[in-house]
Amino acid sequence: MNQLSDSEILEEVADTGNIELYYTLFERYQHLVYGQCKRYFSNAADCSDMAMHIFEVMVRRVKPAEVKNFAALLSSITNNECISELRKRKSYQKHLNNFSDLKSQQNSFVENDGLLRLTSGLTDEQQQMILDSAIQRLKPAQRSTIMLFFLERKSYKEISDLTGLSDKEVKSNLQNGKRNLKILVESILKQLNKTTGICTESLKQILNENTI
């Protein structure tokens, strides 16, 4: 199989539907993808995780019969996925910084300090992923209120004007949202601790399962 050209392997995959053959191409270009990822990420583990992610993207999105130049397409997808990941991390970091600053901005939100302690043993990226996922899993009213109040620094009145909620409902959503946010983070961490070795990929799988 290694003697076949990229086009011949793709034709074989298209004809037989055998995805295993696809991995012959992945092995062929793995070092190039890894090297390309190093332009964006300095951490070796990040590069390995991204390379695995990129190959998974290729399998899910790309139809072998439609590929004219596998190497060029792989390079393009690698660039796009790396840039997309960096943008996500920038957004996550902004959220994390906002959460880190909450104690001085709002003394009543002491639970947040507890959230940061809960995730203190993880990397910044993993903390960001967990916090963002937990926020997204809140009930819509709680999620929007939490984000408007703590991330966008809106007042009760501004939130009330934007959402149509009463001041009492805004306060209730904040209290319940903070409590549920902590519960969600603890639930994610509990599942993560059951895995054999904490890594970004296992965390992504947990967050994508929608079973929390």
Q: What is the mean pLDDT of each run of 10 residues along the chain (212 residues)?
A: 78 82 83 88 87 86 81 87 81 58 42 57 72 83 84 82 87 89 82 61 60 43
Does a structural domain hold residue 22? Answer: yes
Distance CA 183, CA 24 (A): 44
Query: Are residues 121 and 28 part of one domain?
Result: no
40 occurs within a structural domain:
yes
The structural domain count of the chain equals 2
pLDDT on residue 108: 41
119 and 197, same structural domain? yes
Q: Are residues 76 and 154 in the same domain?
A: no
Task: Give the whole-angstrom CA distance, residue 211 versus residue 153.
Answer: 31
Q: Could you tell me the residue range of the domain that residue 80 belongs to?
A: 6-87
pTM of this structure: 0.44
Q: Are residues 140 and 53 in the same domain?
A: no
Among candidate residues 56, 87, 118, the one where a domain is terminated: 87
Residues 32, 83, single domain; the answer is yes
